[in-house]
Amino acid sequence: MNEITYETIVEEVKAMCMESNYNLGEDVYSAFKQALQTERSETGKEVLTQLIDNADIAKAERVPMCQDTGTAVFMVEVGQDCHIVGGRLVDAINEGVEKGYGEGYLRNSMVYNPMNRKNTGNNTPAIVHIDLLEGEELTLHMTAKGGGAENMSALKMLKPSDGMEGVKDYILSIVKEAGPNACPPLVVGIGIGGNFERCAFLAKKSLFRPLGVRHEDPAVAELELELMEQINRLGIGPQGMGGSTTALDVKVELESCHIAALPVAVNLNCHASRHQTIKLK
């Protein structure tokens, strides 16, 4: 049986928090470069140029690319034959977050509760979703999710009679409403199906798939491309000041749902789309 120590998880999580904030993903960096070639607005090009320069500075100086260093969100896949020793998995993740945000000069953005709004001072608690799989690996997916884009995300329980047209209209309406607030060009994460909470989870999960990688089901992949085209016709553009690059990518995840239901969730991600994955064996 594979044994993974509490300390190993703490150290790996600490590194993920820093790297996700200092190093823009290569998938995102190339999406910026490509958008710079195709963007029609001069203002939009200037925004994209600033974002590329910003990513270069953050990487070279090891400073956060954005002052909103986010809520640390983890999707963890635990192999059934993996044994975590020395403490609780969630405690190890939180300790890693505390160290990563503290030692990495990242901003603490979490409050104890929405009523007192007092800062916890170490960016914990992390939000942790755990899934049990076959095998003996432990996989940690992490995103540092900023508040601006998360605030413009939404979920709606549509009626089955609304159909896919209703789903698409709803998604477009959310992107339009978000406009400049969610820091476009966006990565749009969409969950369709499941139930109320599962749908929101699917939307979040979709954001962990690297840019440019399509859903394995060709029908879903086609829906992603169609939505991307429609979103880019909205004219919102980089930072909402007009342009042809509103979304860098669109991700859809779907699951079975009740005969009475058609849940749709739209989880917007800002252009940085910070995500990291590590596998511990």
Partner 1 sequence: MQKKINLPLRDEDIESLKAGDRVLLSGIVYTARDAAHKRMVEQEKDGTPLPVELDGQVLYYTGPTPAKPGEVIGSAGPTTSGRMDLYTPALLEKGLKGMIGKGYRSEEVITSMLQHKAVYFGAVGGAAALIARSIKKAEVVAYEDLGTEAIRKLTIEDFPVFVINDIHGGDIYKDGVAKYKQ
Choose between 18 and 262: whose C-beta lies nearer to partner 1: 18
Choose between 53 and 226: whose C-beta lies nearer to partner 1: 53
Least distance from C-beta 55 to partner 1, angstroms? 8
6-22 and 42-61 helices, crossing angle to 10°: 140
Least distance from C-beta 124 to partner 1, angstroms? 16
Q: In 10 A of CB 132, how many CB atoms?
A: 10
Positive or negative torsion for Cα 166, 169, 173, 179 = positive
How many whole angstroms separate alpha carbon 246 and alpha carbon 67?
Answer: 22
Least distance from C-beta 56 to partner 1, angstroms? 9
**What residue ranges bind partner 1 (CB under 8 A)?**
40-41, 43, 46-47, 50-51, 53-54, 57-58, 61, 63-69, 105-109, 117, 119, 147-148, 151, 179-181, 183, 233-237, 239-244, 270-272
Choose between 47 and 190: whose C-beta lies nearer to partner 1: 47
E strand or H helix at 25, and its extent?
none
Choose between 147 and 212: whose C-beta lies nearer to partner 1: 147
How many whole angstroms separate alpha carbon 241 and alpha carbon 215?
Answer: 30
How many whole angstroms separate alpha carbon 214 and alpha carbon 132?
Answer: 24
Nearest CA among 68, 192, 78 for reference residue 129: 78
Choose between 67 and 80: whose C-beta lies nearer to partner 1: 67
Choose between 32 and 208: whose C-beta lies nearer to partner 1: 32
89-103 and 6-22 helices, crossing angle to 10°: 40
Q: Are 187 and 247 in contact (CB under 8 A)?
A: yes
